[in-house]
Chains A and B, each alone.
Chain A
């Protein structure tokens, strides 16, 4: 049946503006869905017996953008805590790529996301969220702190602004296109 879904992941450290970005470009107010996870505590605490497992609910925010009558783009914000790798795997699989939001007051908080997408070969752009207008770092300083390879685009954005968030998405799709093997004429 002709109805195609496309995914983009919005990642980054705790409080970097992921939900804000999803909300600013989505055509519907961002939705939240939950995944119930169980912590496998094998070998961690043998003495507590059968009840040694913890259930945790992880919330995922997402929004949608209708691209054409048969293509819908879904934007998924990752959970703030980066220990829920299972969710990241599900979000990243088959995705066009990711936007990694960066808060310059806590550059290092976005490093796990950079590292995750780098290792899995998922195309991503770093989007520096300007919380207070001026940024104390140069692009080179941010690149080296996050260990960005030269081909990873770095864009400046204000996640609250629809136009700005849209430009970050466009930068990502262009980057993903650039990584495909050259088109045959």
Chain B
């Protein structure tokens, strides 16, 4: 399918750069989606025969866990579009989603393991 991108109604201040509002499958950019550009997704074992090629391309990239940003980079999709399309795939059960990087307080246990991981490098 083709997706359109258009300038939506602005809530933004003059002179400020904001992302293009995008329309994918009849919806606009999900502003409060739990997807962050670092959130990782993985293909679920479901039948993908009915998927449009643009979406199939994404699912095919997700054999192993991969972030939204990596999908955007490998498939040369602008981030906002990659995010909306991934969101559609998650909602329709094609992709499983990992813990978002978005969390208010990064917990001590997680930081401890990041520190240990970096020290091992």
Interface residues of A (CB under 8 A from B): 1-7, 25, 31-44, 53, 55-58, 60, 62, 64-68, 71-74, 76, 83-86, 90-91, 93-96, 162, 166, 169-170, 173-174, 176-177, 180, 183
Contact = CB atoms under 8 A, between A and B. Distances in A.
A183 B108 contact: yes
B20 A5 contact: no
A94 B69 contact: no
9 contacts: A1-B96, A1-B99, A5-B67, A33-B69, A33-B78, A34-B76, A39-B17, A44-B15, A71-B113
Contacts of A170: 115, 118-119
Given A38-B7, A86-B18, A74 B96 contact: no
Contacts of A53: 7
A62 B74 CA distance: 12
B112 A74 contact: no
Given A5-B39, A40-B18, A173 B114 contact: yes
B5 interface: yes
Query: 10 tightest A-B contacts by CB?
Result: A3-B98, A67-B117, A94-B102, A31-B73, A37-B17, A33-B72, A5-B38, A5-B101, A40-B12, A33-B73
A3 B14 contact: no
A62 B69 contact: yes
B55 interface: no
Contacts of B112: 177
Contacts of A55: 20
B50 interface: no
A96 B69 CA distance: 17
B7 A5 contact: no
B65 A72 contact: yes
